[in-house]
Amino acid sequence: MLDENITYFEKQARIYPRSVKGRYRRLKWAAIAVLLGIYYATPWLRWHRGENLPDQAVLIDMPARRAYFFGLEIWPDEVYFITGILVLAAVGLFFVTSLLGRVWCGYACPQTVWTDLFVWVEEKIQGDRNRRIRLDSQGFTFERIWKKTVTHALWILIGLCTGGAWVFYFNDAPALFDHIRHFDLPWSVGSWILGLTASTYLMAGYAREQVCKYMCPYARFQSAMFDRDTLIIGYDAGRGEPRGKHKKGTSWEGKGHCIDCTQCVLVCPVGIDIRNGLQMECIACGLCVDACNDVMDKVDLPRGLIRYDTQRNYDDRQAGRATQSRLRLWRPRTFYYLGVLSLVSALMVYGLFARPRMELHAIQNRNPLFVKLSDGSIRNSYVVKILNKTHEARHFALGVTGVPVKRLDLQSATPLDPADLVVEGGMVAQYRVMLVADKQPAYRLPITLTAQEIDGGLHDSAATIFVSGDEP
């Protein structure tokens, strides 16, 4: 029985981060501008591929089952390239994390970027931290209603732009934009835009730091990539303690440099006190560094009471040993990550240059396995596909080895010549192929179907079987 008098879940306290100016805040704005610029501009980049081919540089064309990334064209059977890109992104992230700690979380993660944008809007409309707290403590006043309405309207607008930009990656951007302008959208596209608008609004407007705390798996396991030489945000307790208020002009004798102003806590977007040590919630955004440096400037003390540094340096300083001013780049784990990165990159480059420009696939029809003809011959049928991955029409001759066939026919509404099959550029041609041969001594013969380009070097083969007679 649950005791109704006990509260099992702590109510989430709303965080009102104070705005701050400084080097890391500027860096964050620069990162946001670059990343959002890339996100919104990429679908509008053009890349000429030839006639009748999409000219969008980055496009995932679902109906045509094709993905385009500048000069790279990925077919459905080459999805391993996408796997390779994801592996590279993941290992690249591990490498950066082992060097610079959680910079991805603090500067580049979409959750951070959009939350920053939403907080900026909130601050512009409702004012800085204290004004926002005051506003939320008011009842339904006119000021509160109009400020909240405008804030939420702008949030929804940003959400709409986010969802709107996303669907451009899956459609021709100018054509789709035209449809959007005329409110003439397929329901599938419209529902994606609405879904992404809603998720952006909820994640950046409401969930915010809770996404990092409770939903993001990366936050949980990235400490596995840390070592004593990874950059972390830290408070120099040796210099800061004993903390306490300080009156300007009085001596610092017997006092630490932390004046307990809590500015580092008030600016923190996840609401933690970094003076309690590194915590899982810290996204290494550096805003507490800016806040504390500002305070240090005001009390005429050197900056860096809170700073990016390595655990090794913090320990060495504590023990009175010399510290290292440069980041130790070459460590076992960075070698390991770089090794994996190089290996996967090399495999992908090799795969890119070695991938075939045409493919042949064959599947034997199982129902029936074979047909006995009136003259005693055996007929097997196959579904054969020729993938022409070039952009021009190619002519192929179909052949077979492994069984002495009497006839190789194609079943189709219009007569087709297996010695000259035309496959248009970028297309998959499918045929029903009939092989007729005398009854063979073996019940099941391994055979190979072949396709050779006429007047060209493209060729491929597909292994299959020829079933001859009843199973012994």
Q: Name the β-bridge partners of 382.
A: 364, 433
Residue type, 375: D
274 binds ligand SF4 (CB under 6 A): yes
CA distance 132 to 144: 10
- Shortest approach of ligand SF4 to residue 363 CB, angstroms? 56
Question: What's the CA gap between 420 and 452, in Å, rounded?
Answer: 10
Distance CA 160, CA 400 (A): 56
Q: Tell whether residue 264 is a contact of ligand SF4 (CB under 6 A).
A: yes
Q: Is 59 in the site for ligand SF4 (CB under 6 A)?
A: no
Choose which of 185, 207, 261, 348 interacts with ligand SF4 (CB under 6 A): 261
Please tell me what DSSP assigns to residue 67: E
What minimum distance in Å lies between the beta carbon of 27 and ligand SF4?
12
Side by side, the strands of the sheet bearing 459-467 are: 421-423, 394-401, 444-453, 459-467
- Residue 284 makes contact with ligand SF4 by CB under 6 A: yes
Residue 211 near ligand SF4 by CB under 6 A? no
Cα–Cα dist 468/437, whole Å: 9
Among 113, 291, 360, 451, binds ligand SF4 (CB under 6 A): 291
Asked if residue 275 binds ligand SF4 (CB under 6 A), the reply is yes
* Structure-token pair, residue 251: 């001596």
Rounded to a whole number of angstroms, the minimum distance from the CB of residue 241 to ligand SF4 is: 10
Is the separation of the CB atoms in 11 and 210 below 8 Å?
A: no
Closest separation in Å from C-beta 325 to ligand SF4: 21
Q: Does 283 bind ligand SF4 (CB under 6 A)?
A: yes
Region for 360 from its dihedrals, namely left if φ exceeds 0, alpha if ψ lies in -120 to 50, beta otherwise: beta
241-260 binders of ligand SF4 (CB under 6 A): 258-260
Report 177-196 residues binding ligand SF4 (CB under 6 A). Answer: none
DSSP string across 247-265: -TTS--TT--S-----HHH
Q: Candidates 132-140, 288-296, 353-361, 405-413: pick the segment binding ligand SF4 (CB under 6 A).
A: 288-296
Is residue 282 near ligand SF4 by the rule CB under 6 A? yes
Surface-to-core class of residue 363, CB atoms within 10 Å of its CB (0-12 exposed, 13-18 middle, 19+ buried): exposed
Footprint of ligand SF4 on 304-363 (CB under 6 A): 305-306
Nearest Cα to 282, choosing from 213, 344, 369?
Answer: 213
The structure tokens 């790279």 sit at 72
Q: Is 32 in the site for ligand SF4 (CB under 6 A)?
A: no
Q: Does 268 participate in binding ligand SF4 (rule CB under 6 A)?
A: yes
Structure-token pair, residue 352: 């890119």
Smallest distance, Å, CB 290 to ligand SF4?
A: 9
Structural contact between residues 433 and 461, judged by C-beta atoms closer than 8 angstroms: no
**Smaller CB distance to ligand SF4: residue 275 or 394?**
275
Q: Is residue 111 involved in binding ligand SF4 (CB under 6 A)?
A: no
The window from 59-67, 232-240, 397-405, 442-450 that contacts ligand SF4 (CB under 6 A) reads: 232-240
Residue 231 CB, nearest approach to ligand SF4 (Å): 11
Q: Which of 165, 233, 437, 467 binds ligand SF4 (CB under 6 A)?
A: 233
CA distances for 140 relative to 13, 135, 225, angstroms: 21, 10, 49
- Look at residues 174, 165, 181 and name the one whose alpha carbon lies nearest to residue 42: 165
Applying CB under 6 A, does 272 fall inside the site for ligand SF4? yes
Binding site for ligand SF4 (CB under 6 A): 233, 235, 240, 258-264, 267-270, 272, 274-275, 282-288, 291-292, 295, 305-306
